[in-house]
Structure 1
């Protein structure tokens, strides 16, 4: 039976993906920091579904603990067949105001946390000659956004990791994918928006938020089809495909809008 491991699986996109796989009857393992949230997710997912749900608490930024959590889940549910790396954090702030700790934490969770989870399952996937890995980046991994220097850095870096790993993994029978969701209606989004600079909204407001269920459905379908890069809507598709060609025009357009906003808000 297929075993799906999801980091950041107790809420948001990760939990929505888990619902789809549990409904299919798969074994699903959720990994997140908070045991209370994991237990609540486990109970909710078991209701009316065929699949088995396992949980393990771990901070993905710590390679040893996330590795131990995944091994514990595999001991109960078998080797990981599909890995979804959706654990992530965002702390909007102008770069000059952001503490070193907050900047480094976003890199540690969003980038290194995904790498740690991949490392925990990659060798056995290669040895078995099969496996699927989905890295969850962001629309902020396609365009730089004021107030999101750390977050953009972590999400841009995931693409480079995914592209390199894809080339290494494909001959071994392992599929690597990366997706770039827009703002998604989750509890984290509400908290983030309270701290979001107005300049960032000029860019991020171009794309309407998706529901976690819509994003999850899009991701799972793409995984089923073995696609590498997954975008959500025409705006993000255009950014993903064309931004490198038209970067000066994009920068000029948003720079003008931000200058206008700043003139309006200046005392």
Structure 2
């Protein structure tokens, strides 16, 4: 038995080394055109800086022109070859009108060449129980988080397929794999992105177009700071279990996983745990990943049940505290 384990470990180690060697040979964005929605701040801006350091030409898309101007300057300062790289921006609401999105992205290709990498970072969270969430907020989240990702992909996907190359990233969240108190609407939109990514991967693989689904935990961005203003106590206490990461760390891992051709991009133990446990019918990026899923799924299910028990305990305690407060009043 011990001998068999050693053999399996050795095979996995060899496969890992081979994969790293192969991926290192193709990890280049030099002179490639990268488009990033939600690129004026947060994870999107950090991704833009990361690809600029790799020699890419960058198109930033967001709504706020002032933020876009500031982001453009910061990204330009981080270019690998400032004299030869182009950084531009487009002010656009990607979840509003498909024709406008298609026109803008096709014009960007005319200006800077074919889009090799599309990173969909546009999105936001509005926290609160479903009954406390306004219909206008629900519609806004659906439009931005789902249509704001689907529209840009639809606008570029046929051209990528025709060229026989391209990479698409959908930035979701851990909330794409687990529903959390206070995230009923937000999780709905992120679960939708997971379904989109899985179906899109199946449609794109024959054309050498890769799809990556990023599952970052709470990240220290302006959007997260805004989210904190409406976050219920239960949500805040549950979310604290995964900690808070910097957008630079998330962006670096996202680009690495994308260039390696991985379907999932995760950072931290909790994201890794959920990725394994919720694999389901998701694409398998490597033999070693598949073996880990088979070996760890049962154990991780037990660990996650422990997490769920603690989450429900938090919710009950918060309810008891509120009841005591009401009685004292």
Question: What TM-score, normalized to structure 2?
Answer: 0.78
Q: How far apart, in 2, do the equivalents of 1:145 and 1:48 lie?
A: 37
The answer to whether structure 1 residue 67 and structure 2 residue 93 are counterparts is no
Per-residue deviation, 1:151: 0.7
SS at match of 1:205: helix
The answer to whether structure 1 residue 192 and structure 2 residue 249 are counterparts is no
Aligned to 2:165: 130
Aligned to 1:43: 73
Aligned to 1:165: 200
Aligned to 1:121: 156
Per-residue deviation, 1:203: 2.0
SS at match of 1:181: coil
Task: List per-residue Cα deviations over 1:178-236 (Å, max 9, x = no partner).
Answer: 01001111111111112100111232111111101000000011011110011111112
> Is there any run of 5+ residues in structure 2 with no aligned partner, and where?
1-30, 281-297
Number of aligned pairs?
267
- 1:251-262 paired onto structure 2 within 5 Å: 251-262=308-319
Contact 1:60 1:117 in 2 (8 A): yes
Q: How far apart, in 1, do the equivalents of 2:230 and 2:50 lie?
A: 32
The answer to whether structure 1 residue 174 and structure 2 residue 209 are counterparts is yes
Aligned to 2:320: 263
| Residue among 64, 77, 86 paired with 2:121 | 86
> Is there any run of 5+ residues in structure 1 with no aligned partner, and where?
none
Q: How far apart, in 2, do the equivalents of 1:263 and 1:232 lie?
A: 34
Contact 2:37 2:60 in 1 (8 A): yes
Per-residue deviation, 1:240: 2.3
Runs of 4+ residues deviating >4 angstroms = 247-250
Cα RMSD (Å): 1.6
Q: How far apart, in 1, do the equivalents of 2:67 and 2:100 lie?
A: 18
Q: How far apart, in 2, do the equivalents of 1:250 and 1:118 lie?
A: 35
The answer to whether structure 1 residue 217 and structure 2 residue 263 are counterparts is no
SS at match of 1:135: strand
Structure showing greater Rg: 2
Structure possessing the higher relative contact order (Cα contacts under 8 Å, 6 or more residues apart): 1
Aligned to 1:233: 268
Contact 1:22 1:28 in 2 (8 A): yes
Q: How far apart, in 2, do the equivalents of 1:43 and 1:70 lie?
A: 21
Q: How far apart, in 1, do the equivalents of 2:92 and 2:129 lie?
A: 29
| Residue among 35, 45, 50 paired with 1:15 | 45
| Residue among 188, 192, 197 paired with 1:153 | 188
Question: What TM-score, normalized to structure 1?
Answer: 0.95
Aligned to 2:178: 143
Per-residue deviation, 1:258: 1.1
Contact 1:57 1:69 in 2 (8 A): no
Aligned to 1:58: 92
Contact 1:147 1:197 in 2 (8 A): yes
Per-residue deviation, 1:256: 2.1
Per-residue deviation, 1:89: 1.4
Of 67-76 and 99-108, more deviation after overlay is shown by 67-76
Task: List per-residue Cα deviations over 1:31-69 (Å, max 9, x = no partner).
Answer: 101111111111222125223101111101122222222
Q: How far apart, in 2, do the equivalents of 1:41 and 1:249 lie?
A: 42
SS at match of 1:199: helix
Q: How far apart, in 2, do the equivalents of 1:252 and 1:15 lie?
A: 37
